[in-house]
Amino acid sequence: MYTVLVISCHPDDVEIACAGTLLKCKERGDRVVVCHLCSGNLGHVIIPPDELRVMRANEAKRAGALGGIDEVFWGGFDDLEIYDNNKEARDKVVDVIKRVDPDFIITHNPDDYMPDHTAVSRLVFDAAFTATLPNYHVKTEGAAKMVPIYYMDTLAGVEFNPTEYVDVTPYIDKKIEMLNCHESQIVWMRDHDGIDFPDMVRTCSRYRGYQCGADYAEGFRQCHVYLKGTTKRYLP
């Protein structure tokens, strides 16, 4: 029915914030495409970056296969090497959007807890407009549609008030199963932050469910600017 493009920063961000929604999109027949802009190579206490970069890519492949993701793109940036006020980074995102030509985009909230997330959010905002210009040339020619952007939840929902909810109750176990593919990050969150990561993600989904009358839910906030409004319900 729709083509959904998720542009995330790190390989596990999808599982944390919107995997249940993507599973629901797949069930209704959507094409689901994910782009991870950063490698996640700094997300461990012990594993060195070059080794972790490969490990995290393999974890993301397992999670994506489990969720039936149709295509995965990689931005090619390492952690803390992506910036929003940067033409190279913006053009890479523009190229992905032109190639995929989505009906809607999901990405990070502009006010999140770390610089990579906020940089990705601003890059997506800029690139989503730029990709609609046929005479702005990147590797992929032509122009994408002007489409809605939905910001996914922040980690633990801090300073995030959803304007949209998706009931993911039937998908919560698969969402956590996908998250468990990211074994390196479960260890990282335990050792670095003292958090049982799968339990935290499940609990946050439960909390969003309480807000909208579901057992488990994922929250989103639509980007409300000129031309990005819509009369349609794109989220499942």
41-97, pLDDT tens digit by residue? 998 888 999 999 999 999 999 999 999 999 999 999 999 999 999 999 999 999 999
Going by pLDDT thresholds of 50, 70 and 90, the confidence category of residue 140 is: very high
* Backbone φ and ψ of 220, nearest 5°: -140, 160
Residue 219 pLDDT exceeds 90: yes
pTM: 0.97
Distance CA(74)–CA(138), nearest Å, equals 16
Is 165 a member of any domain? yes
Which residue in this structure is represented by tokens 């992905």? Answer: 96
CATH number at residue 113: 3.40.50.10320
Q: Is residue 87 part of a domain?
A: yes
Q: Does residue 177 sit in helix, strand or coil?
A: helix
Q: Which DSSP string do the residues of 38-63 spell out, in sequence order? A: E--TT--SSS-HHHHHHHHHHHHHHH
Among candidates 63, 58, 54, 141, which has minimal Cα distance to 97? Answer: 141
Based on the structure, what is the number of domains in the chain? 1
Q: Is residue 233 part of a domain?
A: no
Domain that holds residue 204: 3-222
Distances (CA, A) of 182 to 25, 29, 132, 159: 22, 26, 34, 26
**49/72 Cα distance (integer angstroms):** 21
Alpha helices by DSSP H, the chain = 13-17, 19-27, 49-67, 87-100, 115-130, 172-180, 183-188, 197-212
